[in-house]
Structure 1
Amino acid sequence: MPDPALVDPHRLPEEADRTAPMGGWQLRRVHRTDGGELTSAILPAGHTTPAAWHDGVSEIWYVCAGVGQVWTHDGATARTVDLRPGRSLLLSPGLRYQVRSTAVDAVELVLAVLPPWDTGRTHLTKGPWTPSRDAGPEPVLEEPPAESSSTAVEVRDLPWAADYAAPDGSEIRLLPTLAAGGLVHCLVHPGQRTRAVRHRTVTELWYVLDGLGELARWDGGVDAAPRVLTLRSGTSVGIPVRTAFQFRCTGLDPLRLLLLTMPQWPGADEADTSVGELDAWST
Protein backbone atom coordinates (compact mmCIF):
# COMPACT_ATOMS: atom_id res chain seq x y z
CA MET A 1 0.00 0.00 0.00
CA PRO A 2 1.60 3.33 -1.04
CA ASP A 3 2.38 5.93 1.61
CA PRO A 4 -0.78 8.13 1.69
CA ALA A 5 1.49 11.21 1.47
CA LEU A 6 2.58 10.07 -2.00
CA VAL A 7 -0.86 9.53 -3.53
CA ASP A 8 -2.20 13.06 -4.05
CA PRO A 9 -0.38 16.05 -5.58
CA HIS A 10 0.62 18.98 -3.38
CA ARG A 11 0.68 22.67 -4.31
CA LEU A 12 3.10 25.28 -3.01
CA PRO A 13 1.14 27.37 -0.46
CA GLU A 14 0.48 30.99 -1.41
CA GLU A 15 1.76 32.26 1.94
CA ALA A 16 4.52 31.16 4.27
CA ASP A 17 3.21 28.65 6.81
CA ARG A 18 6.07 29.11 9.28
CA THR A 19 9.40 30.81 9.84
CA ALA A 20 12.65 28.95 10.34
CA PRO A 21 13.65 28.28 13.96
CA MET A 22 16.82 30.31 13.27
CA GLY A 23 14.69 33.24 12.04
CA GLY A 24 14.62 35.16 8.76
CA TRP A 25 13.56 32.42 6.38
CA GLN A 26 9.94 32.29 5.26
CA LEU A 27 9.10 28.60 4.86
CA ARG A 28 6.38 26.85 2.86
CA ARG A 29 6.31 23.09 3.17
CA VAL A 30 5.74 21.48 -0.21
CA HIS A 31 5.69 17.74 0.44
CA ARG A 32 6.60 15.53 3.42
CA THR A 33 7.01 11.78 3.80
CA ASP A 34 8.60 9.56 6.43
CA GLY A 35 11.89 9.60 4.48
CA GLY A 36 12.27 13.32 3.81
CA GLU A 37 10.58 16.52 2.77
CA LEU A 38 10.69 19.33 0.21
CA THR A 39 10.31 22.89 1.47
CA SER A 40 10.38 26.30 -0.20
CA ALA A 41 12.46 28.89 1.68
CA ILE A 42 12.66 32.64 0.96
CA LEU A 43 15.10 35.01 2.66
CA PRO A 44 13.92 38.60 2.11
CA ALA A 45 16.25 41.12 0.47
CA GLY A 46 18.72 42.80 2.78
CA HIS A 47 18.43 40.15 5.50
CA THR A 48 21.13 38.29 7.43
CA THR A 49 20.18 35.19 9.39
CA PRO A 50 21.69 34.15 12.70
CA ALA A 51 24.32 31.44 12.39
CA ALA A 52 23.00 27.96 13.14
CA TRP A 53 23.64 24.22 12.89
CA HIS A 54 21.31 21.24 12.64
CA ASP A 55 21.30 18.13 14.79
CA GLY A 56 20.84 14.89 12.83
CA VAL A 57 19.43 16.53 9.68
CA SER A 58 21.03 17.03 6.27
CA GLU A 59 19.81 19.62 3.79
CA ILE A 60 20.26 19.88 0.03
CA TRP A 61 19.68 23.42 -1.22
CA TYR A 62 18.76 24.38 -4.78
CA VAL A 63 18.83 28.12 -5.50
CA CYS A 64 15.86 29.08 -7.68
CA ALA A 65 16.28 32.85 -7.65
CA GLY A 66 18.17 35.70 -6.03
CA VAL A 67 21.75 36.34 -5.01
CA GLY A 68 23.39 36.05 -1.61
CA GLN A 69 26.12 34.35 0.38
CA VAL A 70 26.38 31.50 2.85
CA TRP A 71 29.21 31.17 5.37
CA THR A 72 29.95 27.65 6.55
CA HIS A 73 32.32 26.13 9.12
CA ASP A 74 32.88 22.38 9.51
CA GLY A 75 34.83 22.69 12.76
CA ALA A 76 38.17 23.05 11.02
CA THR A 77 37.73 25.28 7.97
CA ALA A 78 35.50 28.24 7.16
CA ARG A 79 34.21 28.83 3.63
CA THR A 80 31.97 31.49 2.10
CA VAL A 81 29.97 30.46 -0.96
CA ASP A 82 28.02 32.71 -3.33
CA LEU A 83 24.37 31.81 -3.78
CA ARG A 84 23.05 32.15 -7.33
CA PRO A 85 20.34 30.48 -9.46
CA GLY A 86 21.17 26.90 -10.44
CA ARG A 87 23.64 26.36 -7.61
CA SER A 88 23.05 23.53 -5.14
CA LEU A 89 24.66 22.83 -1.78
CA LEU A 90 24.76 19.91 0.65
CA LEU A 91 24.83 20.89 4.33
CA SER A 92 25.56 17.99 6.67
CA PRO A 93 24.54 17.69 10.35
CA GLY A 94 26.65 19.84 12.64
CA LEU A 95 27.82 22.19 9.88
CA ARG A 96 27.63 25.78 11.11
CA TYR A 97 26.24 28.22 8.56
CA GLN A 98 24.92 31.75 8.16
CA VAL A 99 23.17 33.30 5.16
CA ARG A 100 22.72 36.81 3.88
CA SER A 101 20.84 38.18 0.87
CA THR A 102 21.76 41.28 -1.13
CA ALA A 103 19.99 44.59 -0.60
CA VAL A 104 17.87 44.15 -3.73
CA ASP A 105 17.33 40.38 -4.11
CA ALA A 106 15.46 37.88 -2.00
CA VAL A 107 17.06 34.44 -2.03
CA GLU A 108 14.63 31.66 -2.99
CA LEU A 109 15.53 28.02 -2.34
CA VAL A 110 13.98 24.60 -2.57
CA LEU A 111 15.25 22.49 0.33
CA ALA A 112 15.39 18.72 0.46
CA VAL A 113 15.47 17.81 4.16
CA LEU A 114 16.66 14.32 5.16
CA PRO A 115 15.13 13.02 7.42
CA PRO A 116 12.11 15.35 7.69
CA TRP A 117 12.16 18.10 10.28
CA ASP A 118 11.46 17.55 13.95
CA THR A 119 11.36 20.35 16.48
CA GLY A 120 14.50 21.08 18.44
CA ARG A 121 16.98 20.15 15.72
CA THR A 122 18.16 23.72 14.99
CA HIS A 123 20.67 25.39 17.31
CA LEU A 124 21.92 28.99 17.07
CA THR A 125 25.63 29.67 17.25
CA LYS A 126 28.25 32.34 16.52
CA GLY A 127 28.85 33.53 12.95
CA PRO A 128 30.91 36.20 11.17
CA TRP A 129 28.05 38.60 10.30
CA THR A 130 25.72 40.64 12.47
CA PRO A 131 22.25 39.10 12.03
CA SER A 132 19.12 41.08 11.36
CA ARG A 133 17.20 41.14 14.62
CA ASP A 134 13.52 41.16 15.43
CA ALA A 135 12.42 42.42 18.81
CA GLY A 136 12.73 39.67 21.36
CA PRO A 137 15.00 38.12 23.96
CA GLU A 138 18.69 37.54 23.28
CA PRO A 139 19.05 34.09 21.70
CA VAL A 140 20.86 31.25 23.46
CA LEU A 141 23.97 30.24 21.48
CA GLU A 142 25.22 26.65 21.34
CA GLU A 143 28.30 25.11 19.79
CA PRO A 144 28.12 21.65 18.16
CA PRO A 145 29.29 18.93 20.59
CA ALA A 146 33.09 18.64 20.69
CA GLU A 147 32.93 14.96 19.80
CA SER A 148 30.78 15.57 16.71
CA SER A 149 32.28 15.97 13.26
CA SER A 150 30.82 17.60 10.16
CA THR A 151 31.56 17.30 6.47
CA ALA A 152 32.55 20.43 4.55
CA VAL A 153 29.82 22.00 2.43
CA GLU A 154 29.46 20.43 -1.03
CA VAL A 155 28.73 22.86 -3.88
CA ARG A 156 27.55 21.92 -7.35
CA ASP A 157 26.39 24.14 -10.21
CA LEU A 158 23.73 22.99 -12.64
CA PRO A 159 25.62 21.92 -15.77
CA TRP A 160 24.62 23.12 -19.23
CA ALA A 161 24.76 19.57 -20.65
CA ALA A 162 22.88 16.65 -19.12
CA ASP A 163 24.94 14.13 -17.15
CA TYR A 164 22.98 11.28 -18.73
CA ALA A 165 19.64 10.24 -20.18
CA ALA A 166 17.43 8.37 -17.73
CA PRO A 167 16.00 4.99 -18.80
CA ASP A 168 12.70 6.77 -19.42
CA GLY A 169 14.37 9.25 -21.80
CA SER A 170 14.40 12.39 -19.64
CA GLU A 171 17.56 14.47 -19.19
CA ILE A 172 19.22 14.14 -15.77
CA ARG A 173 21.63 16.66 -14.24
CA LEU A 174 23.20 15.52 -10.99
CA LEU A 175 22.95 17.52 -7.77
CA PRO A 176 24.29 16.57 -4.31
CA THR A 177 23.42 13.21 -2.81
CA LEU A 178 23.93 11.25 0.41
CA ALA A 179 22.93 7.82 1.65
CA ALA A 180 19.47 8.93 2.84
CA GLY A 181 18.59 10.47 -0.51
CA GLY A 182 19.69 12.60 -3.41
CA LEU A 183 18.50 15.46 -5.57
CA VAL A 184 18.64 15.66 -9.37
CA HIS A 185 17.41 18.12 -11.99
CA CYS A 186 15.18 16.53 -14.64
CA LEU A 187 14.21 18.04 -18.00
CA VAL A 188 11.73 16.96 -20.67
CA HIS A 189 11.54 18.87 -23.95
CA PRO A 190 8.33 20.26 -25.51
CA GLY A 191 6.38 17.49 -27.21
CA GLN A 192 8.43 14.75 -25.55
CA ARG A 193 6.88 11.94 -23.55
CA THR A 194 8.93 9.49 -21.56
CA ARG A 195 8.83 5.72 -21.62
CA ALA A 196 6.98 4.07 -18.74
CA VAL A 197 9.19 2.67 -15.97
CA ARG A 198 8.89 1.79 -12.30
CA HIS A 199 11.39 1.88 -9.44
CA ARG A 200 12.43 -1.30 -7.67
CA THR A 201 13.44 0.12 -4.26
CA VAL A 202 13.31 3.94 -4.11
CA THR A 203 10.57 6.50 -3.55
CA GLU A 204 10.62 9.93 -5.19
CA LEU A 205 9.18 13.37 -4.54
CA TRP A 206 9.02 15.64 -7.60
CA TYR A 207 8.82 19.43 -7.55
CA VAL A 208 8.02 21.31 -10.75
CA LEU A 209 10.28 24.32 -11.24
CA ASP A 210 8.65 25.51 -14.46
CA GLY A 211 6.96 24.30 -17.61
CA LEU A 212 3.74 22.39 -18.09
CA GLY A 213 3.16 18.67 -18.35
CA GLU A 214 1.30 15.58 -17.19
CA LEU A 215 2.19 12.55 -15.10
CA ALA A 216 0.47 9.20 -15.71
CA ARG A 217 0.78 6.89 -12.71
CA TRP A 218 -0.55 3.33 -12.62
CA ASP A 219 -1.62 3.38 -8.95
CA GLY A 220 -3.90 0.37 -9.37
CA GLY A 221 -1.34 -1.77 -11.17
CA VAL A 222 -0.37 -2.13 -14.80
CA ASP A 223 -3.71 -3.72 -15.75
CA ALA A 224 -5.69 -0.70 -14.51
CA ALA A 225 -6.14 2.68 -16.15
CA PRO A 226 -3.51 5.25 -15.07
CA ARG A 227 -4.25 8.29 -12.99
CA VAL A 228 -3.20 11.44 -14.87
CA LEU A 229 -1.99 14.44 -12.85
CA THR A 230 -1.19 17.94 -14.11
CA LEU A 231 2.38 19.15 -13.66
CA ARG A 232 2.87 22.91 -13.38
CA SER A 233 5.19 25.27 -11.51
CA GLY A 234 4.84 24.82 -7.75
CA THR A 235 3.30 21.33 -7.96
CA SER A 236 4.80 18.38 -6.10
CA VAL A 237 3.92 14.74 -6.75
CA GLY A 238 5.07 11.45 -5.29
CA ILE A 239 6.31 8.34 -7.08
CA PRO A 240 5.75 5.28 -4.85
CA VAL A 241 8.10 2.32 -5.12
CA ARG A 242 7.12 -0.35 -7.69
CA THR A 243 4.48 1.93 -9.26
CA ALA A 244 4.68 2.37 -13.05
CA PHE A 245 4.71 5.95 -14.31
CA GLN A 246 5.17 8.03 -17.45
CA PHE A 247 5.24 11.79 -17.99
CA ARG A 248 5.30 14.32 -20.79
CA CYS A 249 5.81 18.01 -21.54
CA THR A 250 2.66 19.66 -22.89
CA GLY A 251 3.82 23.29 -22.96
CA LEU A 252 5.91 25.38 -25.32
CA ASP A 253 8.87 25.47 -22.91
CA PRO A 254 10.76 22.55 -21.36
CA LEU A 255 9.34 20.88 -18.27
CA ARG A 256 11.94 21.20 -15.49
CA LEU A 257 11.70 19.36 -12.20
CA LEU A 258 13.68 18.61 -9.05
CA LEU A 259 13.53 14.93 -8.07
CA LEU A 260 14.26 13.85 -4.50
CA THR A 261 15.10 10.14 -4.45
CA MET A 262 14.92 8.28 -1.10
CA PRO A 263 17.16 6.51 -0.35
CA GLN A 264 20.10 7.29 -2.64
CA TRP A 265 19.73 6.10 -6.25
CA PRO A 266 21.42 2.67 -6.22
CA GLY A 267 22.41 2.41 -9.88
CA ALA A 268 21.33 1.70 -13.44
CA ASP A 269 19.33 -1.43 -12.55
CA GLU A 270 16.97 0.53 -10.26
CA ALA A 271 14.64 1.47 -13.14
CA ASP A 272 12.47 -1.47 -14.20
CA THR A 273 11.82 -1.03 -17.92
CA SER A 274 9.68 -4.17 -18.25
CA VAL A 275 6.58 -1.93 -18.24
CA GLY A 276 7.87 0.10 -21.18
CA GLU A 277 4.99 -0.94 -23.46
CA LEU A 278 2.55 1.03 -21.30
CA ASP A 279 1.60 4.34 -22.90
CA ALA A 280 -1.02 6.63 -21.41
CA TRP A 281 -1.10 8.82 -24.53
CA SER A 282 -0.91 6.32 -27.37
CA THR A 283 -2.87 7.36 -30.43
Structure 2
Amino acid sequence: MKTRTPIKVSLINPFLKESYDDTQLITIAYLTIARGNDYPLDAASYLTGLTLIMSGVVILFRGNKYKWLSIFLAAFYGISMILLLFILKYQNVTNPSSTLRFVYFVICTGAGAAAGIFFVCLWPTGRILVGGLGGFSLAMICLSTRTNGLISNQLIRYIWIGICTILNATLAGIQRFYQYVAIISTVMSGCYLLMLGTDVFVRGGMLASFKTFWGYNQPEDYLYIVDTNVIIILSTIGFVGGTFGIGAQLLELWMNQRREDIIIDDDQMTMTSTNEKSDLIGSFTKKLKGTFKKGI
Protein backbone atom coordinates (compact mmCIF):
# COMPACT_ATOMS: atom_id res chain seq x y z
CA MET A 1 0.00 0.00 0.00
CA LYS A 2 1.36 3.33 -1.02
CA THR A 3 1.67 5.82 1.80
CA ARG A 4 1.13 9.53 1.29
CA THR A 5 3.94 11.83 2.24
CA PRO A 6 2.78 14.77 4.37
CA ILE A 7 3.13 18.05 2.53
CA LYS A 8 3.95 21.28 4.31
CA VAL A 9 1.16 23.78 3.68
CA SER A 10 3.70 26.49 4.42
CA LEU A 11 4.84 26.06 0.80
CA ILE A 12 1.42 27.35 -0.21
CA ASN A 13 0.80 29.69 2.70
CA PRO A 14 3.63 30.60 5.09
CA PHE A 15 1.15 31.26 7.90
CA LEU A 16 0.18 27.59 8.12
CA LYS A 17 2.53 25.66 10.38
CA GLU A 18 0.92 22.19 10.45
CA SER A 19 1.52 19.32 8.03
CA TYR A 20 -1.35 17.89 5.96
CA ASP A 21 -1.57 15.17 3.33
CA ASP A 22 -2.83 15.87 -0.17
CA THR A 23 -6.47 14.96 0.67
CA GLN A 24 -6.52 17.47 3.51
CA LEU A 25 -4.91 20.04 1.23
CA ILE A 26 -7.73 19.62 -1.27
CA THR A 27 -10.25 20.04 1.56
CA ILE A 28 -8.49 23.17 2.81
CA ALA A 29 -8.36 24.61 -0.70
CA TYR A 30 -12.08 23.91 -1.12
CA LEU A 31 -12.93 25.52 2.21
CA THR A 32 -10.82 28.54 1.30
CA ILE A 33 -12.89 29.06 -1.83
CA ALA A 34 -16.29 28.12 -0.40
CA ARG A 35 -16.05 29.61 3.10
CA GLY A 36 -17.94 32.72 2.03
CA ASN A 37 -21.02 30.68 1.12
CA ASP A 38 -22.32 31.00 4.67
CA TYR A 39 -22.53 34.77 4.03
CA PRO A 40 -24.16 35.31 0.62
CA LEU A 41 -24.15 38.81 -0.81
CA ASP A 42 -27.77 39.82 -0.33
CA ALA A 43 -29.49 42.95 1.01
CA ALA A 44 -28.57 42.18 4.61
CA SER A 45 -24.91 41.64 3.69
CA TYR A 46 -24.70 44.88 1.73
CA LEU A 47 -26.34 46.86 4.53
CA THR A 48 -24.11 45.23 7.14
CA GLY A 49 -20.95 45.90 5.13
CA LEU A 50 -21.82 49.52 4.41
CA THR A 51 -22.80 50.16 8.04
CA LEU A 52 -19.54 48.68 9.31
CA ILE A 53 -17.42 50.62 6.81
CA MET A 54 -19.08 54.01 7.33
CA SER A 55 -19.12 53.83 11.12
CA GLY A 56 -15.57 52.45 11.13
CA VAL A 57 -14.19 55.35 9.08
CA VAL A 58 -15.90 57.95 11.28
CA ILE A 59 -14.68 56.66 14.64
CA LEU A 60 -11.26 55.74 13.25
CA PHE A 61 -10.41 59.35 12.44
CA ARG A 62 -12.88 61.41 14.53
CA GLY A 63 -13.80 59.14 17.42
CA ASN A 64 -12.40 61.35 20.19
CA LYS A 65 -13.94 64.51 18.70
CA TYR A 66 -17.43 63.03 18.29
CA LYS A 67 -17.64 61.67 21.84
CA TRP A 68 -21.40 61.17 21.83
CA LEU A 69 -21.26 59.30 18.53
CA SER A 70 -18.49 57.05 19.87
CA ILE A 71 -20.61 56.20 22.93
CA PHE A 72 -23.63 55.57 20.71
CA LEU A 73 -21.69 53.24 18.40
CA ALA A 74 -20.08 51.40 21.33
CA ALA A 75 -23.50 50.61 22.80
CA PHE A 76 -24.92 49.94 19.34
CA TYR A 77 -22.34 47.30 18.43
CA GLY A 78 -22.20 45.91 21.96
CA ILE A 79 -25.92 45.08 22.07
CA SER A 80 -25.96 44.01 18.41
CA MET A 81 -23.10 41.61 19.09
CA ILE A 82 -24.86 40.12 22.12
CA LEU A 83 -28.03 39.57 20.10
CA LEU A 84 -26.04 38.11 17.22
CA LEU A 85 -24.29 35.64 19.51
CA PHE A 86 -27.65 34.70 21.03
CA ILE A 87 -29.08 34.07 17.56
CA LEU A 88 -26.07 32.02 16.51
CA LYS A 89 -26.31 29.98 19.71
CA TYR A 90 -30.01 29.15 19.76
CA GLN A 91 -31.13 29.46 16.14
CA ASN A 92 -30.36 27.42 13.05
CA VAL A 93 -28.47 30.04 11.02
CA THR A 94 -26.08 27.75 9.16
CA ASN A 95 -27.82 28.55 5.89
CA PRO A 96 -30.59 31.11 6.54
CA SER A 97 -32.69 32.59 3.77
CA SER A 98 -32.17 36.18 2.61
CA THR A 99 -35.44 37.24 4.24
CA LEU A 100 -34.45 35.72 7.57
CA ARG A 101 -31.02 37.34 7.41
CA PHE A 102 -32.67 40.73 6.77
CA VAL A 103 -34.97 40.18 9.78
CA TYR A 104 -31.92 39.46 11.94
CA PHE A 105 -30.28 42.64 10.66
CA VAL A 106 -33.36 44.76 11.47
CA ILE A 107 -33.65 43.26 14.98
CA CYS A 108 -29.98 43.83 15.79
CA THR A 109 -30.03 47.35 14.33
CA GLY A 110 -33.16 48.39 16.20
CA ALA A 111 -31.95 47.04 19.53
CA GLY A 112 -28.50 48.55 19.01
CA ALA A 113 -29.94 51.99 18.20
CA ALA A 114 -32.14 51.93 21.31
CA ALA A 115 -29.17 50.92 23.47
CA GLY A 116 -27.02 53.63 21.89
CA ILE A 117 -29.53 56.37 22.72
CA PHE A 118 -29.92 55.04 26.26
CA PHE A 119 -26.18 55.01 27.02
CA VAL A 120 -25.65 58.45 25.49
CA CYS A 121 -27.89 59.72 28.29
CA LEU A 122 -25.73 57.80 30.78
CA TRP A 123 -22.48 59.16 29.38
CA PRO A 124 -20.16 58.13 32.28
CA THR A 125 -21.13 54.49 31.66
CA GLY A 126 -20.90 55.11 27.94
CA ARG A 127 -17.23 56.01 28.28
CA ILE A 128 -16.60 52.58 29.78
CA LEU A 129 -18.36 51.00 26.80
CA VAL A 130 -16.06 52.89 24.42
CA GLY A 131 -13.03 51.43 26.18
CA GLY A 132 -14.59 47.97 26.31
CA LEU A 133 -15.31 47.92 22.57
CA GLY A 134 -11.76 49.07 21.85
CA GLY A 135 -10.28 46.29 23.98
CA PHE A 136 -12.53 43.69 22.40
CA SER A 137 -11.57 44.89 18.91
CA LEU A 138 -7.87 44.69 19.76
CA ALA A 139 -8.31 41.13 21.04
CA MET A 140 -10.14 40.02 17.89
CA ILE A 141 -7.57 41.65 15.59
CA CYS A 142 -4.77 39.84 17.41
CA LEU A 143 -6.60 36.52 17.10
CA SER A 144 -7.00 37.12 13.37
CA THR A 145 -3.27 37.38 12.69
CA ARG A 146 -2.63 33.62 12.55
CA THR A 147 -4.24 30.68 10.82
CA ASN A 148 -6.93 29.08 13.01
CA GLY A 149 -6.44 31.96 15.45
CA LEU A 150 -3.44 33.26 17.35
CA ILE A 151 -4.74 31.24 20.33
CA SER A 152 -6.06 27.78 19.51
CA ASN A 153 -7.46 26.84 22.93
CA GLN A 154 -11.02 28.15 23.24
CA LEU A 155 -10.88 28.74 27.01
CA ILE A 156 -7.71 30.81 26.65
CA ARG A 157 -9.41 32.73 23.84
CA TYR A 158 -12.23 33.67 26.20
CA ILE A 159 -9.71 34.72 28.86
CA TRP A 160 -7.76 36.80 26.34
CA ILE A 161 -10.88 38.58 25.08
CA GLY A 162 -12.07 39.19 28.64
CA ILE A 163 -8.73 40.60 29.82
CA CYS A 164 -8.44 43.03 26.88
CA THR A 165 -12.04 44.18 27.22
CA ILE A 166 -12.08 44.64 31.00
CA LEU A 167 -8.63 46.26 31.19
CA ASN A 168 -9.40 48.83 28.52
CA ALA A 169 -12.86 49.53 29.95
CA THR A 170 -11.32 50.12 33.39
CA LEU A 171 -8.79 52.58 31.99
CA ALA A 172 -11.55 54.39 30.11
CA GLY A 173 -13.41 54.87 33.39
CA ILE A 174 -10.53 56.97 34.79
CA GLN A 175 -11.15 60.61 33.85
CA ARG A 176 -7.45 61.47 33.86
CA PHE A 177 -6.61 58.97 31.10
CA TYR A 178 -9.88 58.95 29.20
CA GLN A 179 -8.88 61.16 26.27
CA TYR A 180 -5.89 59.02 25.36
CA VAL A 181 -7.67 55.74 26.06
CA ALA A 182 -10.58 56.97 23.93
CA ILE A 183 -8.22 57.66 21.01
CA ILE A 184 -6.68 54.19 21.18
CA SER A 185 -10.07 52.54 21.69
CA THR A 186 -11.82 54.32 18.84
CA VAL A 187 -8.90 53.63 16.49
CA MET A 188 -8.95 49.91 17.36
CA SER A 189 -12.73 49.78 17.03
CA GLY A 190 -12.66 51.68 13.74
CA CYS A 191 -10.00 49.37 12.31
CA TYR A 192 -11.88 46.22 13.27
CA LEU A 193 -15.20 47.52 11.95
CA LEU A 194 -13.50 48.47 8.69
CA MET A 195 -11.91 45.02 8.46
CA LEU A 196 -15.24 43.27 8.96
CA GLY A 197 -17.04 45.60 6.56
CA THR A 198 -14.40 45.12 3.88
CA ASP A 199 -14.44 41.35 4.38
CA VAL A 200 -18.18 41.27 3.67
CA PHE A 201 -17.31 42.02 0.03
CA VAL A 202 -13.82 40.48 -0.17
CA ARG A 203 -14.78 37.25 1.66
CA GLY A 204 -11.33 36.72 3.06
CA GLY A 205 -12.70 34.83 6.05
CA MET A 206 -12.41 37.39 8.87
CA LEU A 207 -16.16 37.87 9.17
CA ALA A 208 -16.78 34.12 9.18
CA SER A 209 -14.02 33.62 11.77
CA PHE A 210 -16.04 35.72 14.24
CA LYS A 211 -18.10 32.61 15.01
CA THR A 212 -15.01 30.42 15.21
CA PHE A 213 -13.27 32.63 17.77
CA TRP A 214 -16.42 32.54 19.91
CA GLY A 215 -16.41 28.74 19.92
CA TYR A 216 -19.28 28.09 17.50
CA ASN A 217 -18.96 25.16 15.11
CA GLN A 218 -18.68 26.15 11.48
CA PRO A 219 -20.21 24.11 8.64
CA GLU A 220 -17.96 21.58 6.90
CA ASP A 221 -15.19 21.88 9.49
CA TYR A 222 -14.43 25.47 8.55
CA LEU A 223 -10.81 26.54 9.04
CA TYR A 224 -9.78 30.19 9.32
CA ILE A 225 -6.79 30.71 7.03
CA VAL A 226 -4.62 33.81 6.86
CA ASP A 227 -4.26 34.12 3.09
CA THR A 228 -3.32 37.00 0.80
CA ASN A 229 -6.65 38.81 1.20
CA VAL A 230 -6.48 38.66 4.99
CA ILE A 231 -2.86 39.83 4.98
CA ILE A 232 -3.79 42.83 2.81
CA ILE A 233 -6.74 43.72 5.06
CA LEU A 234 -4.70 43.41 8.26
CA SER A 235 -1.73 45.38 6.93
CA THR A 236 -3.54 48.21 5.14
CA ILE A 237 -6.39 48.80 7.58
CA GLY A 238 -4.70 47.62 10.76
CA PHE A 239 -1.24 49.10 10.37
CA VAL A 240 -1.59 51.96 7.89
CA GLY A 241 -5.13 52.98 8.85
CA GLY A 242 -4.43 52.61 12.57
CA THR A 243 -1.28 54.74 12.34
CA PHE A 244 -3.03 57.52 10.44
CA GLY A 245 -6.04 57.33 12.77
CA ILE A 246 -3.93 57.74 15.91
CA GLY A 247 -1.92 60.53 14.30
CA ALA A 248 -5.02 62.43 13.15
CA GLN A 249 -6.76 62.17 16.51
CA LEU A 250 -3.65 63.12 18.51
CA LEU A 251 -3.10 66.13 16.24
CA GLU A 252 -6.71 67.23 16.70
CA LEU A 253 -6.44 66.78 20.48
CA TRP A 254 -3.23 68.83 20.57
CA MET A 255 -4.82 71.62 18.51
CA ASN A 256 -7.88 71.71 20.77
CA GLN A 257 -5.73 71.86 23.90
CA ARG A 258 -3.66 74.68 22.42
CA ARG A 259 -6.80 76.58 21.44
CA GLU A 260 -8.13 76.21 24.99
CA ASP A 261 -4.82 77.46 26.41
CA ILE A 262 -4.99 80.53 24.15
CA ILE A 263 -8.55 81.24 25.28
CA ILE A 264 -7.51 80.90 28.95
CA ASP A 265 -4.56 83.27 28.37
CA ASP A 266 -6.86 85.79 26.67
CA ASP A 267 -9.28 85.61 29.60
CA GLN A 268 -6.45 86.13 32.08
CA MET A 269 -5.16 89.12 30.10
CA THR A 270 -8.66 90.57 29.98
CA MET A 271 -9.07 90.14 33.75
CA THR A 272 -5.64 91.71 34.36
CA SER A 273 -6.48 94.66 32.13
CA THR A 274 -9.82 95.13 33.89
CA ASN A 275 -8.15 95.04 37.31
CA GLU A 276 -5.57 97.61 36.20
CA LYS A 277 -8.31 99.92 34.96
CA SER A 278 -10.18 99.49 38.25
CA ASP A 279 -7.02 100.36 40.19
CA LEU A 280 -6.45 103.48 38.09
CA ILE A 281 -10.03 104.62 38.56
CA GLY A 282 -9.82 103.92 42.29
CA SER A 283 -6.56 105.85 42.74
CA PHE A 284 -7.89 108.75 40.66
CA THR A 285 -11.04 108.84 42.79
CA LYS A 286 -8.97 108.88 45.99
CA LYS A 287 -6.82 111.75 44.70
CA LEU A 288 -9.91 113.66 43.66
CA LYS A 289 -11.46 113.21 47.11
CA GLY A 290 -8.21 114.33 48.78
CA THR A 291 -8.02 117.46 46.63
CA PHE A 292 -11.66 118.25 47.33
CA LYS A 293 -11.12 117.91 51.12
CA LYS A 294 -8.07 120.20 51.01
CA GLY A 295 -10.05 122.79 49.11
CA ILE A 296 -12.73 122.73 51.77
TM-score (norm 2): 0.25
TM-score (norm 1): 0.26
Q: Which has the higher contact order (CA 8 A, sep 6+)?
A: 2
Who wins on radius of gyration, i.e. which is larger?
A: 2
Give the structure with the higher percent strand: 1
Give the structure with the higher percent helix: 2
